[in-house]
Chain A
């Protein structure tokens, strides 16, 4: 088997696809993390209807395959609401919906991992509810959230490849276009797969390093 030199000429295209993939999945993770954190706190609220909304949101969006969400966010919203979203907005929205439903569960588990005694100590010291969260609960929950959050980022980054079906030119779509031009399927897919692997393995290492950095001394 011979590597097609032609494919290598498209390196700029691979690079821009990679940057796009990193950007959109990072954006989805940040938005998903923020929305997920809000959903998690709703889920832990004493107010019944807030809990109900959170449960429905989480269960709904984490049960639907990303492909369906991409179709819905691109074609569905346009069809149902007459709102034409561009591929970038649709893809970001679809990824954020999935990521936020996964992050909601990660954050909830993190907060629930902090023992009742921590709440009692902080409340007894005269802290307001916000201070209790900020200085005592969140710093401890964050440590528990890090490993699963890394997992969510990796899966969000992989899910972003599905955005190729709505014409968004991220890494997978870039590869498909290069393949059409060069006709070298195997080489192109090998390069793309390698790039995904390197990124995700790098993320995994970063997650591990962060985890060690914030480890609580026992």
Chain B
């Protein structure tokens, strides 16, 4: 991909995005383009707008400036068009957000059946396959309340994949997990990256970023400070702020 960067059009293009909460500036003129198949990891201190940036990508947040294009279609919150865009973007949340009244299988099957209007048999076959992929085939009939955090997050990943999305957004997927279950979730995410899925991941897992990320985007105070391959951004950053951030994290 790095040999011919302009050969394919980006799947996602963000131009001069500005996001404010009342008067507070959260995102300040953010530009970002993501190529199909690319794994982009957003790193940076807490409260620098990384999660907000993800929510702007699928139109969960209204933006105050700039533009977001997904597969060349503008993403604008509170429009009919954005509902259609979301069918192609899977989102995984820090707090899983599984539907507690449905079984794990029910969670995975709901949107494909109701949003994509696919037949139950078709969706169930795909869902069972996805449970194998996230290594939970024995837990498909459990309710979310009966699953551990790591299991719930893997169900949430299966739920997102069931829509056959062309972009996956991960919003701190392992931050709410017990340390011993973090690895299971990261393994599944690594599998997805190897399959060539396009992913944008907000995380604090530097190891994952280094081994799985194609590109690291370092953000601070609502801006992209610098971006590039992991070995450059994590180990040899140019900017002082980036050096300070990784210096303090990697010393731990």
Contacts and interface: CB of A to CB of B under 8 A. Distances in A.
Contacts, number: 66
Interface stretch (B110-118, B205-213, B222-230): B110-118
Given A131-B114, A217-B145, A125 B99 contact: no
B156 to A, nearest CB: 8
A124 B159 CA distance: 11
Given A123-B60, A139-B101, A117 B145 contact: no
Given A117-B95, A120-B60, A216-B100, A127 B145 contact: no
A131 B115 contact: yes
Contact of A121 (B97, B143, B145, B146): B97
A126 B101 contact: no
Interface stretch (B24-32, B81-89, B238-246): B81-89
Given A121-B99, A136-B99, A126 B87 contact: yes
B114 A121 contact: no
A123 B59 CA distance: 10
A95 B115 CA distance: 40
A158 interface: no
A126 B84 contact: yes
A127 B60 contact: no
B222 to A, nearest CB: 21
- Greatest chain B CB density within 10 A among A139, A143, A217 is at A217
A140 B115 contact: no
A135 interface: yes
Interface of B: 58, 60, 83-84, 86-87, 89-91, 93, 95-101, 110-111, 114-115, 143, 145-146, 156, 159, 163
Given A135-B114, A216-B101, 17 more contacts: A117-B96, A118-B97, A120-B60, A121-B99, A121-B156, A124-B60, A124-B86, A125-B110, A126-B87, A126-B163, A127-B111, A135-B110, A139-B101, A140-B101, A143-B101, A216-B143, A218-B100
